[in-house]
Structure 1
Amino acid sequence: MNRFMGLAALLSVVLSANLAHAQTGKPGVEKLYILNCGEGVAGDISRWSPGVNEGQSMDFVDNCYLIKHAQGWFLWDTGIPDAVAAMPNGLPSPDPKGVSWKRPKTLAAQLDQLGVKPSDIKTMAVSHTHPDHIGNVEMFPDAMLYVQKAEYEWPGANNEPRFKPSHPVTKLEGDRDVFGDGSLIILSTPGHTPGHQSLLVKLPKTGAIVLSGDAAHFKSNWDNRRVPSINFSKDETLASMQKISDTLAKDNAQLWINHDRAQRDSLKMSPEFYD
């Protein structure tokens, strides 16, 4: 009889442990897709690295990231406007040192290829409000937009608002665990703009990745902690680079630099994905 009681007790312990694991082992992020949201040429990259690379041109890319979470689809950045895809000569830069953009693939077409409708995306965020990151925000008029309060309230050209007032928004004042399970965390990383933010993504197989937005524009700027002259605050930029560096170390994370073509070309693009 004691033997049977011992077996029952053992089974009870095993079942309790399995139940506890089922309750706490949330699926979290399931897949991450890298979408082509623009390709361009920078006229003079000393604009982003003062005193270095004078007169040197460089290919830039512009990525968006579609993330499948157990609680729904999440979009990070929206890239160059899809309308640019129909422009034979692309979108020239008003500044000869800046980036002239083309849109080889529309965001809409890439979502369609994955069987995702714009209305399927319920939550989204942008790293910041420069035009190459918010070009298609209104393709998702009902999606909750996560943006830092400082960025949202930063006056645009002619004091125009940076988003349609009708767009649902959550104004952040610091970091935010988007789904409450630690798998997708918005990091406040101001400096490039007043409310610039980055994204920590924790994938079950690939591990942790930091999508750094424009905290740095290419790897040599990151490695040398160079701050573009156009940035809103040099001190905040350097502090944010350190915060990202600390996050990389703490979470053993990869750093994905949004505009870095060499790195982008080494990664899997949609419809392939990271899980």
Structure 2
Amino acid sequence: MLKSPFIAAKLVIASLAIIAGCSGLPAHQNNSVARLYILNCGEGVAGDISRWSPGVNVGQSMAFADNCYLIKHDQDWMLWDTGVKDSIAALPDGEAPADPRAIHWRRPKTLANQLEALGVKPADIKYVAISHSHPDHIGNVEMFPQSMLLVQKAEYDWPGANNAPRFNPAHPVTKLEGDKDVFGDGSVTILSTPGHTPGHQSLLVKLPKTGAIVLSGDAAHFKSNWNNRRVPSINFDKDQTLASMQRIADVLAKEKAQLWINHDKAQRDTLKLAPEYYK
């Protein structure tokens, strides 16, 4: 007796699922990023922004933002950058820099309090990835002693002041040598973008509704520097910086992605901050 086309189709689907299971491949995979939060990880004023754009804007000050990004993937939590240290929040006038041209940082909200407000404990975060090892990006790494640190080997091995290590050697770490598909499904990809520092990296996040976003770290510090491909005099390598800017531009075009520049406060003021989120 012939089976109906509907029953036959169900049998074929079931058979394919069994074959996939026997081969060790998932029969159905729909992992994705569920939410992306922007956390306020510092605010400051730079005394002279020509420090970041040589020969341009000499003597002009500018407000800077410092963002962290909390990502809820179907599998786990991930934090991108940790901002300036939370202890700055207790200083009435923030933390003044030794160089008056640099950024005078303040911490209106602590990272710890923002995570608590979202019901996220430090132990819930599986991965902490940092764009690079400057203090305004790694200030709170040790708030997450159990989280796997994702950092480029070139950055991890780069000596700090007096040849001191830039990270706690006891902290669990995965030293990357290039790009990294964090969750194995293409939804969150670390991009190697050296130049600002030896192992600087950026992050491509693909959201189901918002679309693709590149979190550029300090590949550029504000939009006019990005538009004009200006390289700060403090950068580790000018040619690498320019090559990384071009690489990010290529990714933006390919993925039809937005560019979120970490320190660009004018842009940050147009975006939703936690507890709101992007999905």
Fold agreement, TM-score > 0.5: yes
Within 5 Å, give how 1:1-275 maps onto structure 2: 1-2=1-2, 4-13=3-12, 23-275=27-279
Distance in 2 (CA, whole Å) between partners of 1:18 and 1:270 is 40
Structure 1 vs Structure 2 CA RMSD: 1.7
2:31 and 2:185 in contact (8 A); partners too: no
Alignment deviations for residues 44-76 of structure 1 (CA, whole Å, 9 cap, x no partner)? 100100111111110000000000011111000
Distance in 2 (CA, whole Å) between partners of 1:110 and 1:17 is 46
When residues 91 and 168 of structure 1 are mapped into structure 2, their CA distance, relative to the original with a 3 A threshold, is: same
Deviation at 1:15, TM superposition (A): 6.1
For 2:200, give the aligned amino acid.
H
2:31 and 2:75 in contact (8 A); partners too: no
Distance in 2 (CA, whole Å) between partners of 1:252 and 1:24 is 26
Distance in 1 (CA, whole Å) between partners of 2:27 and 2:273 is 33
When residues 252 and 18 of structure 1 are mapped into structure 2, their CA distance, relative to the original with a 3 A threshold, is: farther
Deviation at 1:122, TM superposition (A): 1.4
Alignment deviations for residues 151-180 of structure 1 (CA, whole Å, 9 cap, x no partner)? 000000111100111000000000000111
Deviation at 1:24, TM superposition (A): 3.9
Distance in 1 (CA, whole Å) between partners of 2:148 and 2:131 is 15
Distance in 2 (CA, whole Å) between partners of 1:202 and 1:16 is 32
Percentage of identical aligned residues: 72
For 2:8, give the aligned amino acid.
A
Structure 2 unaligned residues grouped into runs of 5+: 21-25
Alignment deviations for residues 203-250 of structure 1 (CA, whole Å, 9 cap, x no partner)? 111111000000000000001100001000000000000110111111
Deviation at 1:118, TM superposition (A): 0.8
